[in-house]
Amino acid sequence: MRNRIFLPCALLAALLPGLAGAEPVTIRAADNEMTAAFGNVPKPVPLNEMITLQLTLSHSGAPVEAKSVEITGQRLYSKNGLPTAPSISATGQPGGWRIEGLRFHISGPWRLTLRITSATGVSEIVLPLEVK
């Protein structure tokens, strides 16, 4: 049974180059209760290509129905922010969000910050990325 599950996943990874170099990343907010689990963060993030990230937000282990999620990005050691205005929308899955239209136009270290407003208040999740 396990092989039947793994084989399609391996085929999927081989057929979808963007996912082949991606890995799941989980980040906890400073308040230690809000968590963002990113399912497919490219490693490294490609320079100047539009990418989509999917994530699941949870609070104290349970999916969060966030009221809003705002996203900003900053290239470290420079004044540069994101060159595009990515959209972030709920996927309809519990705690599920999709970020579309992300692009990084300068290589190097970036910080992607999600500001999440939910019934429990406002949390910030910072996702570090390396763009090459």
Partner 1 sequence: MCFAANGIESARGPGRFALWTPTLLAAAALALAPALGQKAPEPEWSEAELEIIATLTLDKLPPPPPDPSNKYAEDPKAADFGHRLFFDLRFSSNGKVGCVTCHDPEKSFTDGKRFSQGVGVTPRNAPTVIGAAWNFWFLWDGRADNHWAQALAAFENPLEHNMSRQDIVRVLREHADLRRDYETVFGTLPALEDADGVNRAFANIGKALAAYQRHLRPGQSKFDRYAQAILAGREPAPKDQFTLDEREGLHVFISDQRGKCLRCHNGPLFTNQHFHNIGVNGRQGEEHEAGRLKGIETARASPFNCSGQYSDAQPQQCLELRFARRATPELLGAFKTPTLRNLIKTAPYMRDGSQRTIHDVTWHYRDRPAARTGASELENFTITGAEFEQIDAFLRTLEGGIDAPARYLRAPHAQGQ
Question: Which H or E run contains 76?
Answer: none
d(CA 96, CA 65): 9
Residue 102: phi and psi, rounded to 5, are: -80, 130
Is position 51 an interface residue for partner 1 (rule: CB under 8 A)? no
Residue type, 60: S
Of the ranges 3-11, 35-43, 61-69, 106-114, which one interacts with partner 1 (CB under 8 A)? Answer: 106-114
Is position 111 an interface residue for partner 1 (rule: CB under 8 A)? no
State which residue, 73 or 95, has the beta carbon closest to partner 1.
73
State which residue, 31 or 49, has the beta carbon closest to partner 1.
49
Is position 108 an interface residue for partner 1 (rule: CB under 8 A)? yes
DSSP state of 45: B
Residue 47: phi and psi, rounded to 5, are: -75, 135
Which positions lie near partner 1, rule CB under 8 A? 47-48, 50, 75, 77-87, 100-101, 103, 105-108, 132
